[in-house]
Chain A
Amino acid sequence: MIIELGHFALILAFCLTLPQAFFGLVGAHLRRPHWMAVTNRAVAGQFVLTACAFGSLAYAFNQNDFSVLYVAQNSNSALPTFYRFAAVWGAHEGSLVLWMLVLSIWTLAVAAFSGSMPQAMTARVLGVLGLISAGFGLFILLTSSPFERLWPAAADGRDLNPLLQDPALAIHPPMLYTGYVGFSVPFAFAVAAMLEGKLDSAWARWVRPWTTVAWMFLTVGIALGSWWAYYELGWGGWWFWDSVENASFMPWLLGTALIHSLAATEKRGLFKSWTLLLSIAAFSLSLLGTFLVRSGIIESVHAFASDPGRGIFILVFLGVCVGGALLLYAWRAPLFRSNAGFAPVSRESFLLMNNVLLVVATTFILLATLYPVFLDVLGLRKISVGPKFFTATFLIPMLPLALLLGIGMHAAWKKATFEKTRAKLTAIFVGALAVGVVLPWVVYGWHSVLTTVGIVTALWIIASSLLEPIERLRKGHSLSAGVIGMCIAHFGFALFVLGATTVESYKHEMDISLRPGQSTQIAGYEIKMTGLRNVQGPNYDAVESEMVITRDGKAVATLHPQKRTYRVQTSAMTEAGIDAGWTRDLFVAMGEDLGDGAWSLRVQYKPLVRFIWLAALVIAFGGLIAICDRRYRQRITTDATEAVASDAKTA
């Protein structure tokens, strides 16, 4: 009964998206305040109803209601409660309801925090978001409903995919969706601005916090996925350039470009076309990612159950949304041309290069991901593109970007002479060069030129991003949250470069077979297998080995890697034993039972690998600080003219 109510709630929610869209867009066009007010009510109602639909699914999972087909396919009575809740978004249908819920929460947030915006703009934004919600609601109701019944009810469910029975991966989709879906907000703002025919600094200032928050969540979501893959998939890899990973990374790259482009639009009214196109593109790539993962067009270890029928729906939706926005752009873009200029060396030119390099990087990834499909559709031979190709092409634009970042941070608007900072920047570059060449050599040994370039670049950015805050604090000047946030985020980026370069250059990996009592050596550590035993988990049986790690005779850690067999799906999974540390991870994973008490193991030494995920947290934190800047908290006046006047003063 609850499920049927939930289904009904979703239908009503879909129905509410229609007036939300209509009254928002038409009301703004006709300048009717009463119509526009309807939009806000529709938004609130839609949120409540979508939450009810989601809640009904959660309830069905919690109650182990196996008469619901989706529950029977994704849960089991032995599944721990936390994972029963996470199973709601464990497969295609439920994850779409999560998508709709997240979208309704974003829409509600925009409605709630739009006090400083004119009503017409708010109404348009909510209207566009309503159209997007309508599309997804229709998609769920017509092709992917999780509310189907199974009759007769199954005695027990098929259990959640064991790979998903993990805390990090349970949280990963909500984080990721908050990011992905959040890019619909700048998209809606872009469409609203184009409809209104007006795009100014005030607009940029409204959009920036929304974009940054979405981007923050996407950063954390991607990092969670990477971290999970590292400890769960047993290979110790943290990025595989898998199609689905790329599908989430490409919007992130464009989101980063968007945040930076908004800076120029806000400050000097420049790059309006860039900002509009990036807003459209970031959300398009989010939708494209959805399409790639759920339509079956691309093979991937992550892909949901694929269905060309669903693929067509998403493709049409993508075509309408993005095609519509781009046509709007073609019509309105001439209006937004700016006559302002800037010097060849200026903050603006650095931001321009930043935009171009990020877009180029995104295009490379898109090209390499889609090329095999392209050849296949044309009937030419099948090829595949592996991780090395991706990494190599990705580094081509990213290395220059990283190097230019160190300088660009200190460039002034309109014309940058670097007269105050030139000496210091040169000094820290030389310092970074010296330390970057010598230190890794001393600690780990020589690897390659690329390694040195990576580490020097990382140190260069670290020092450069700390330069301005330190200078200002020394002189007793104040620091705005925007500047602090920027420095923290760039610092985080440098940490990432440092961690990624170090771990990929200096990692050790070894396949070995051991039986209890035997030991092996890696990177100066001795690893000894001291025992093997059988354990039973709530829904799995496992063989657990005890591995004692010592260095120079001193105890370092004891690990308990397991090889699990989940009872319901009878699939085998390895749980790696990891000794985590800031300077290195030691990683042991069990492979196969070779008989006679011997097991094959993969042992790895991973220096500075934790920096990669720490970096993501630091970057997200930087974003958080940046949006706390005072200029985004200009308070709420309902009079549109007053708002515009105060905007002009504080710009």
Chain B
Amino acid sequence: MWRFLLPTVLFAALVTFFAFGLHRDKETLPSPLIGKPAPIFTLPHVEDPSQTVSNAAFAGKPYVVNIWGSWCVGCRQEHQTLLEIARRNEVPIIGVNWKDDRAAALEWLQTLGNPYAQNAFDGEGRVAIDWGAYGAPETFLVDAHGTVIYKHIAPLTLDIWDREFLPLIGLNARSGAAQ
């Protein structure tokens, strides 16, 4: 007699599974880089192609890598946040300009402001692939030992910065900072 209840039980399990599945974030891909050493890159400067930028120069202290492009709508949204983080001067931001037009990128920085300590030009996209980027903007946090400890996808907000990034860096959210 009880075996007739089997379809019902299986179905109930399926529905429960779906209920949990409804709230999953299907867009974000977890990064396999978390917990691994950050890829070291050397790229030409966005402003001055004859000079090079490398994240090796920032080793020993935490830093942030931000992948962006002037073609990217979300980058414009997060620009204010980046400027604020740069103003606070807690952690340097290294920009990786992904598959962009140099002139457009320079104009962008001039018009909107430059939050980047250094800005690398990834014309061929190789470095972005090394960091597992699949959309822009993406923001990585690298700790003092050179390990990637956090990745944030989509525009950064101060709220996320204070909640997710700062605790990992070991600093507390500055109270009273303009949100």
Q: Which residues of A contact B (CB under 8 A)?
A: 277, 280, 284, 291, 295-299, 308, 311-312, 315, 318-319, 322-323, 326-327, 329-331, 333-334, 370, 373-374, 376-377, 381-382
Known pairs A297-B18, A373-B17 / 20 extra A-B pairs, C-beta < 8 Å: A280-B7, A284-B11, A297-B24, A299-B27, A311-B22, A312-B19, A315-B15, A323-B8, A323-B12, A323-B15, A326-B8, A330-B7, A334-B4, A373-B24, A374-B21, A376-B24, A377-B17, A377-B21, A381-B30, A382-B30
* Residues B1-38 near A (CB distance < 8 A): 1, 4-5, 7-8, 11-12, 15, 17-24, 26-27, 29-30
Report the Cα distance A106→B129, complex, angstroms: 53
Report the Cα distance A377→B19, complex, angstroms: 10
Separation in Å of the A322 CB from the closest CB of chain B? 6
Contacting residues, chain B, for A374 (C-beta < 8 A): 17, 21
Contacting residues, chain B, for A297 (C-beta < 8 A): 18, 21-22, 24, 26
A-B contact pairs, 6 of them (CB 8 A): A315-B22, A329-B4, A329-B8, A330-B5, A334-B1, A382-B29
Q: How large is the interface on B (under 10, 10 to 19, 20 to 34, 35 or more residues)?
A: 20 to 34
Given contacts A319-B15, A323-B15, contact A329 B7 (CB under 8 A): yes
Report the Cα distance A333→B1, complex, angstroms: 9
Contacting residues, chain A, for B27 (C-beta < 8 A): 299
Contact A298 B26 (CB under 8 A): yes
Contact B4 A330 (CB under 8 A): yes
Contacting residues, chain B, for A377 (C-beta < 8 A): 17, 20-21, 24
Q: Which 6 A-B pairs have the closest CB atoms?
A: A326-B8, A333-B4, A330-B4, A330-B5, A308-B22, A311-B22
Contacting residues, chain A, for B7 (C-beta < 8 A): 277, 280, 326, 329-330
Contacting residues, chain B, for A284 (C-beta < 8 A): 11
Contacting residues, chain A, for B26 (C-beta < 8 A): 296-299, 373, 376
Contacting residues, chain A, for B4 (C-beta < 8 A): 329-331, 333-334
From the candidates A311, A326, A334, name the one contacting B11 in the complex (CB within 8 A).
A326
Contact A327 B8 (CB under 8 A): yes
Contact A323 B11 (CB under 8 A): yes
Contact B21 A373 (CB under 8 A): yes
Separation in Å of the B89 CB from the closest CB of chain A? 36
Separation in Å of the B42 CB from the closest CB of chain A? 31
Contacting residues, chain B, for A296 (C-beta < 8 A): 22, 26
Interface residue SS majority, chain B: helix
Contacting residues, chain A, for B5 (C-beta < 8 A): 330
Contacting residues, chain B, for A315 (C-beta < 8 A): 15, 18-19, 22
Residue of A nearest to B32 (CB): A381
Report the Cα distance A280→B29, complex, angstroms: 36
Separation in Å of the B36 CB from the closest CB of chain A? 14
Q: Which residues of B contact A (CB under 8 A)?
A: 1, 4-5, 7-8, 11-12, 15, 17-24, 26-27, 29-30
Report the Cα distance A318→B19, complex, angstroms: 12
Contacting residues, chain A, for B21 (C-beta < 8 A): 297, 373-374, 376-377
Residue of A nearest to B12 (CB): A323
Report the Cα distance A277→B6, complex, angstroms: 11
Contact A322 B11 (CB under 8 A): yes
Separation in Å of the A199 CB from the closest CB of chain B? 14
Separation in Å of the B19 CB from the closest CB of chain A? 6
Contact A330 B8 (CB under 8 A): yes
Separation in Å of the A200 CB from the closest CB of chain B? 20
Report the Cα distance A142→B96, complex, angstroms: 46
Report the Cα distance A327→B7, complex, angstroms: 9
Separation in Å of the B114 CB from the closest CB of chain A? 31
Report the Cα distance A330→B23, complex, angstroms: 31
Report the Cα distance A297→B1, complex, angstroms: 35
Contacting residues, chain A, for B8 (C-beta < 8 A): 323, 326-327, 329-330
Report the Cα distance A635→B24, complex, angstroms: 54
Separation in Å of the B160 CB from the closest CB of chain A? 20
Which of B8, B21, B27, B30 has the largest count of A CB atoms less than 10 A from its CB? B21
Residue of B nearest to A384 (CB): B29
Contact B22 A312 (CB under 8 A): yes
Contacting residues, chain B, for A319 (C-beta < 8 A): 15
Contacting residues, chain A, for B29 (C-beta < 8 A): 382
Residue of A nearest to B26 (CB): A299
Contacting residues, chain A, for B17 (C-beta < 8 A): 370, 373-374, 377
Separation in Å of the A63 CB from the closest CB of chain B? 35
Residue of A nearest to B20 (CB): A377
Report the Cα distance A308→B22, complex, angstroms: 6
Contacting residues, chain B, for A329 (C-beta < 8 A): 4, 7-8
Residue of A nearest to B18 (CB): A315
Report the Cα distance A329→B4, complex, angstroms: 7
Separation in Å of the A326 CB from the closest CB of chain B? 4
Which of B5, B12, B18 has the largest count of A CB atoms less than 10 A from its CB? B18
Report the Cα distance A330→B10, complex, angstroms: 13
Contacting residues, chain A, for B24 (C-beta < 8 A): 297, 373, 376-377
Contacting residues, chain B, for A312 (C-beta < 8 A): 19, 22
Contacting residues, chain B, for A327 (C-beta < 8 A): 8
Residue of A nearest to B6 (CB): A330
Contacting residues, chain B, for A311 (C-beta < 8 A): 22
Contacting residues, chain B, for A318 (C-beta < 8 A): 15
Separation in Å of the B21 CB from the closest CB of chain A? 5
Report the Cα distance A307→B19, complex, angstroms: 13
Report the Cα distance A497→B17, complex, angstroms: 35
